[in-house]
Amino acid sequence: DQQVKQNSPSLSVQEGRISILNCDYTNSMFDYFLWYKKYPAEGPTFLISISSIKDKNEDGRFTVFLNKSAKHLSLHIVPSQPGDSAVYFCAASVQGAGGTSYGKLTFGQGTILTVHP
Amino acid sequence: DARVTQTPRHKVTEMGQEVTMRCQPILGHNTVFWYRQTMMQGLELLAYFRNRAPLDDSGMPKDRFSAEMPDATLATLKIQPSEPRDSAVYFCASRWENIQYFGAGTRLSVL
């Protein structure tokens, strides 16, 4: 039972263009979503997050969009740079009042992004 | 520059041997997680602790895996006996507010 899915195993983009990474979830209890970036031989690094009370969060070149009705979120990278080439993981958690999960994350399978010069 | 530290970074061992992986969380972070990454399963949660108390270890094979947090600066994950199917990268993460911060991982190869 995969509660968080990234259906595209890989994405190839030209430098300077937009990269769009997608993520779907099934558990309606999820109320906090994160994107992590991972380089080879390193641990995942936090990139950007969004609470379910918002539909957009922006940080520099990175924007995350959340569509709660569709249970879908996406990460936009504009403009894409070769240094953005990495594996991107979507993750979801239940943070709400009274929750006892203490931020336990459920990860998608990851999308390998390659940005060509 | 605060970071989660994991040791060893690489471990090669033979089937049946005991393996111990260590994690030093970021000072002040009171929730610690252990994950395993494999090609087939992606990143899966094994266990996690809050204020050193185990909260959930349902992701671990109980017969061979054990996780402890003897003090606030050390979390351990043990496998005894190890099997080839345990070969994976094991990550530790500590949490501050809503964000988990990951260590660089321990790459385990069981021959």
CATH code of the domain covering residue B30: 2.60.40.10
**B12 lies in a domain?**
no
Q: Which of A19-33, A37-51, B33-47 has the lowest mean pLDDT?
A: B33-47
DSSP B61: -
**B1 lies in a domain?**
no
* pLDDT at residue B55, rounded to an integer: 86
**B6 lies in a domain?**
no
* pLDDT at residue A97, rounded to an integer: 58
Domain A4-116 fold: Immunoglobulin-like (2.60.40)
Residue A96 pLDDT exceeds 80: no
Is A35 in contact with A89 (CB distance < 8 Å)?
Answer: yes
Tokens of B29: 């972070």
Q: Is A34 on the interface with B (CB under 8 A)?
A: yes
B107: nearest CA in chain A?
Answer: A41
A111: nearest CA in chain B?
Answer: B42
- A55's CB contacts (< 8 A; 6+ apart) are A65, A66, A67, A68
Tokens of B106: 């321990």
* pLDDT at residue A98, rounded to an integer: 53
Q: Tell me the mean pLDDT in the region A87-96.
A: 90
Q: Could you report the per-residue pLDDT of A48-73, keeping only the tens digit for each?
A: 999 999 999 999 999 999 999 999 99
What is the tally of structural domains in chain B?
1
Q: Is B83 on the interface with A (CB under 8 A)?
A: no
Judged by CB atoms closer than 8 Å, whether chains meet at A107 and B42 is answered as yes
Domain range spanning residue B49?
21-102
Q: Which residues pair with A93 in a beta bridge?
A: A32
Task: Give CA–CA dist A80/A101, Å, rounded.
Answer: 35
**Angle ∠(A27,A30,A35) on CA atoms, nearest 5:** 110
Q: Could you report the per-residue pLDDT of B19-64, keeping only the tens digit for each?
A: 999 999 999 998 999 999 987 778 999 999 988 888 888 889 889 9
Q: How confident is the model at residue A87 (pLDDT cuts 50, 70, 90)?
A: very high
**B4 lies in a domain?**
no
